[in-house]
């Protein structure tokens, strides 16, 4: 993912947490904050040390980034998203991560309904 599509600063994370709306399933919590002046979406990832060691956490982040990359055409533009991984994600493979992330984004109504899992 390009650098301008990532949320890196703590201030930006806190803004999304405080002003955005959240939706969740067992594996992920997603916060979404609409930004009218922004014509693209940005993603911030949070994977706690409670989930596993650095190798596990980095694998989870790679899976999430790749899932977002594959879903970017269906994702609502002009939003900032913060995705928080929960404990069950540590034992999931890529296809399960993608389907779970697709589910939680549909729950939050930020993903088009006509998306098919591949």
pLDDT digits (tens, 9 = 90+) for 3-34: 778 999 999 999 999 999 999 999 999 999 99
Pair of tokens at residue 87: 């404990």
The per-residue pLDDT for range 89-111, each reduced to its tens digit, is 999 999 999 999 999 999 988 88
- Cα→Cα distances 5→46, 52, 77, 117, Å: 15, 26, 11, 23
Could you tell me the pTM of the whole model? 0.88
The span from the CA of 61 to the CA of 83, in Å, is 10
The span from the CA of 63 to the CA of 67, in Å, is 6
Inform me whether the pLDDT recorded for 118 exceeds 70.
no
By DSSP bridging, strand 79-85 and strand 42-47 are parallel
Q: What is the mean pLDDT of the chain?
A: 90
- Taking phi over 0 as left and psi of -120 to 50 as alpha, with beta for the rest, 34 belongs to beta
């Amino acid at each position: 993912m390009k650098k301008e599509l990532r949320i890196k600063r703590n201030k930006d994370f806190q803004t999304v947490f405080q002003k955005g709306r959240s939706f969740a399933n067992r594996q992920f919590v997603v916060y979404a904050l609409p930004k009218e002046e922004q014509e693209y979406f940005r993603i911030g990832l949070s994977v706690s040390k409670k989930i596993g060691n650095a190798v596990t956490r980095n694998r989870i982040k790679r899976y999430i980034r790749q899932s977002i990359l594959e879903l970017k055409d269906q994702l609502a533009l002009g939003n900032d998203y913060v995705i928080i991984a929960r404990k069950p994600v540590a034992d999931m493979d890529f296809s399960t991560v993608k389907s779970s992330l697709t589910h939680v984004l549909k729950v939050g109504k930020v993903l088009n309904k006509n998306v098919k899992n591949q």
